[in-house]
Amino acid sequence: MSLKFKYILTEDAFPSSEGEKLKPKEEKLLKNIHDYILVRYYSKNYPHIDDKQLPTDLVDLEEFSDLYAEIWDFLTLTMLFDKNTATHLFYLFVLNYNKEGVYTNIENVRTLNYDDQKEIFDVRIMVLADHFNTIPFLIERLHWDQYDIPSYLVKTENKYYACGDEETIERAKNDYVDSYYSDGDEVFHAFGAGHYISYCSVVIQIKE
């Protein structure tokens, strides 16, 4: 079914643009995301609330990070959309979401282009998004740093990464070695001769 829906959605002047009206097929998909992803997500994670207590908007990068990942997985793994189509539909839903779940006859569609994203997200998040070919909504800034380097969770990779400039990375590497390795042989075997040599110095003693 997902392949069939993918085919009919991507034809007939798809996709809609900023300020236009949602296409009928987009309305149907946004309704499916609302009912089968968002409502189920809240039923599973917040069983004490009902449909009338759903959030009024979804643009909160910290609160909804797990929900964003579920929406993205639905679009890419279940519906099998390519990245460009999935990105467009993701932003359509997040920016045009309403708690009543009504997605028909929406005028003045809101989307988010690359320049808009750069206004919202930290430059490191944008770098990581470009590097991992994903969207910045799926990169979570962590509350702790790794050796003073800002740290992030890339949801599509399910891995943690620290992102900094060359000077910061080199300093962090040295701090890591200092905190875990006290013996020169350990450093040599763990990181190789090149890194070991950076810790070495030559002392010249002149005897009179």
pLDDT at position 155: 93
pLDDT at position 203: 46
The residue extents of the domains of the chain are 2-112, 114-164, 166-197
Whole-model pTM: value is 0.74
| 139 or 205: which leads in pLDDT | 139
Alpha-carbon distances, residue 26 vs 7, 20, 33, 99 (angstroms):
13, 12, 11, 17
Q: Among 16-30, 61-75, 125-139, 147-161, whose mean pLDDT is lowest?
A: 16-30
Tell me if 130 sits within 8 A of 41, measured CB to CB: no
Q: Among 43-57, 86-100, 180-194, whose mean pLDDT is lowest?
A: 180-194
- Percent of the chain residues topping a pLDDT of 90: 34
58-96 pLDDT, tens digit per residue, is 888 788 889 999 999 999 999 999 898 899 999 999 999
